[in-house]
Chain A
Amino acid sequence: MTRTITLAQGNGGEENRALISGLFFRYLGNEILERAEDAAVLQTEKKMAMTTDSFTVSPIFFSGGDIGKLSVCGTCNDLAMMGAQPKYLTFAVMVEEGFETRKLEKIVRSIKKELAINGAKVVSGDTKVLPKGAIDGIMINTTGLGALSVEGVSVRNLEMGDAVVVSRDIGRHGAAIFAGREGIELESEIASDCASLWPMVEKVIANGVIPNAMRDATRGGLAAVLNEWVEASDVCIEIDEGSLPICEAVSGICELLGFEATALANEGTFVLAVRPENAERTLEVLRSFPGNEMAAVIGEVTDRYPKRVVLRSEWGTKRFMELPTGELLPRIC
């Protein structure tokens, strides 16, 4: 194969087929994909959940992952958050002419690895090569289909008294990407939390806990999830600021630049609303996964300030946790 991706490889002809078989089939091949029909035919027994997401990230390779891993995690995690086991994915990639083939291969390899963690397959794909300058390197779209293992998990289902649990320390992905993009040198590197969540969700459910709501705290971070929940369920969520799990490196970045960790993106961190009697069991399950040792109960669902998220400080004061707006910009003073 050529050292870099050429426009010819997106032409639908011979070079295109060579790229597909030499790279995509080689790593992602399975009996459905390799039939190479116009569409994949799927047999399902359970109710299915479906979601789609497009991925663009700079830098493409970051500490803790790359765009390939992200494109599988992102879509599979959205399925997992509905209590659905990720089964089938489509994979559409748009590559800029001149992109290094070696890099593309690395991306496809991480896709393969992440699919295995979820027990999912790519059953349909598409490749486009765009002229230089038309896109920034690479963009990926994945659509996922998952089999519901429980029903009733919904942003509208929060109940009074629910314990709000976060699966690990927050803000890593946002801080890692920010540091990587701006070339901020840190003494200890922050790795993104980018990870597949289905294994954790599966184990939580297997332990008899059916959460009322789950959501991965991606763009907009924890603050966005909680604000979406109070809006959809017409409740108040009160958070104990002191219980928010934040690692030192992330809180360092926040201190220096004036960010709130609650507004930073995550890619492998999710929030659960569970009945209070299930909170401890949920924590135990989450903490049994490496990296999730800081899982914590951070607050509760109340009716005090409807449709608002309230942060309670350790000295007895309160403030609203706002939905993050606009670009992430450092404060000046």
Chain B
Amino acid sequence: MVKLELKDLYDKFRDPATIKALAALIEKEAKRLSGPLNIMEVCGGHTHTIMKYGLKQLLPESIRFIHGPGCPVCIMPKERIDHAYILSQQENVILATLGDMIKVPGSRGSLQQARSQGADVRFVYSPLDVLKIALENPDKTVIFFAIGFETTTPMTAALLDQARKQGVKNLLFHVNHVTVPEVMKELIDSRDKHVDSYNNRIDAFIGPSHVSVIAGAKIYEPFPKKYDRSVVVSGFEPVDVMEGVLMLVKQFVEDRCDLQIQYKRSVTMEGNINAQQLIDRYFQKRELFKWRGLGNIPWSALMLRDEYAEMDAERVYADVLPIEEIEDHKLCICGDILRGMADPTECQVFGTACKPSSPMGSCMVSSEGACAAYYKYGGLM
């Protein structure tokens, strides 16, 4: 049997000849488009691929990307980061979270700063690593600041499941898991009458695919049917994204509006049923969750079910966690940028008061945000 190497999983999907061939096909098909095609790649992973591989440079001008809100770190509002900060300051607490969450500043500072001032803040690769921290520190309370879309939710659920099965009592959760379809809906059809979603310019979506590995492609069914927006669920390698774009262009040229899966090697319509059941066992929908740059979006996040309230850091530490909202900066136009109605350069604070080192809105927070990308790549975009 041929042994599968790690590089076999990506090598062919970065093949220069294939990428160029797809670019030529898109160019040819796009000539038949009646106007510009505005594609939102919802997921930060796709934005990263587009930037890293310079894919926009391979596409005709008529194809425009709108970088979406699909980066769990960027969309975290200051209130929630403040929660993490405050929790890390509590006596006998170890706060654990994933990767670059620790860099993002809330109104009191970032977790990195909290750590440098003596708080015990750790970043982990896998939520299950938190179990080890809890077992090794039985006299401390370990709080997992859980973030991420549908992709990472099952790992948090699995951690909770394991903690309960192993009788681990010193592990709490601060849950910030958010869901993709609700925010996509918000961008094109907001229920908030103050939000100008009617003028959004999103024609089609590249659907987040690792989300769909878990939740299935079915979660995007309403978009072609109800909202007249095409969706192609694409993988994250450059060949995947290029093929995804080609499939969307073809839909427009052929006057179709469908939900299609490009990332067939991992995504099915139904998704991972076991993972979905695990999530369902421990989590319920949260009525409102605030997204940095977009405001409150109904039913767009999860919280622990009431049965597990004793493991919910938000409820256990309710006395010290503020609930007041912190307004996004008035001059920030992240909402319009995310709806494709404005370019980052049209923002008054872009590059001046708002920079990657001191971000005001979500689009500047991580390198995957539209504003940060414009700031960094400037003339090469």
Residues of A within 8 A of B (CB): 182, 242, 248, 251-252, 255-257, 305, 310, 313-320, 322, 326-327, 329-333
Contacts and interface: CB of A to CB of B under 8 A. Distances in A.
Given A315-B23, A318-B54, A330-B98, 8 more contacts: A248-B6, A255-B7, A256-B6, A314-B16, A316-B58, A327-B112, A329-B99, A332-B147
The 9 A-B pairs with the shortest beta carbon distances in the complex, nearest first, are A317-B54, A314-B16, A317-B57, A315-B19, A315-B16, A330-B99, A329-B100, A332-B99, A252-B6
A241 to B, nearest CB: 9
A59 B102 CA distance: 23
B357 to A, nearest CB: 8
B376 A320 contact: yes
Nearest to B17: A315
B148 interface: yes
Interface string B49-75: 001111101100000000000111100
Interface string B363-380: 000001000000011011
A333 B103 contact: no
A147 B149 CA distance: 58
A315 B51 contact: no
A31 to B, nearest CB: 47
A104 B43 CA distance: 50
B7 A251 contact: yes
A329 B104 CA distance: 12
Contacts of A248: 5-7
Interface of B: 5-7, 10, 16, 19-20, 23, 43-45, 48, 51-55, 57-58, 70-73, 98-103, 112, 123, 125, 147-149, 151-152, 210, 238, 368, 376-377, 379-380
A319 B99 contact: no
A303 to B, nearest CB: 15
A251 B11 CA distance: 11
Nearest to A256: B6
B53 A317 contact: yes
10 contacts: A248-B6, A313-B16, A315-B16, A316-B57, A317-B54, A319-B377, A329-B99, A329-B100, A330-B99, A331-B48
B20 A315 contact: yes
Contacts of A310: 380
Contact of A333 (B10, B149, B238, B379): B149
Given A315-B20, A316-B20, A317-B55, A329 B376 contact: no
B58 A315 contact: yes
Given A329-B103, A330-B125, A319 B54 contact: yes
Contacts of A331: 48, 99-100
A333 B54 contact: no
Nearest to B71: A333
Contacts of A252: 6-7
Contact of A318 (B23, B43, B45, B57): B57
A332 B101 contact: yes
B56 to A, nearest CB: 8
Contacts of B238: 315
Most chain B CB within 10 A, of A242, A319, A332, is at: A332
Contacts of B5: 248
A196 B202 CA distance: 56
Contact of A257 (B20, B72, B125): B125
Contacts of A257: 125
Contacts of B19: 315
Contacts of A318: 54, 57, 380
B105 to A, nearest CB: 12
A317 B57 CA distance: 6
Contacts of B55: 317
Nearest to B242: A315
Contacts of B58: 315-317
A255 B237 CA distance: 11
Contact of B152 (A322, A330, A332): A332
Contacts of B376: 320, 322
Contacts of B73: 332
Contacts of A317: 53-55, 57-58
A313 B54 contact: yes
A256 B125 CA distance: 10
Contacts of B51: 319
A333 B57 contact: no
A233 B5 CA distance: 42
Contacts of B6: 248, 252, 255-256
Contacts of B7: 248, 251-252, 255
B25 to A, nearest CB: 14
Contacts of B151: 333
Contacts of A305: 379-380
Most chain B CB within 10 A, of A322, A332, A333, is at: A333
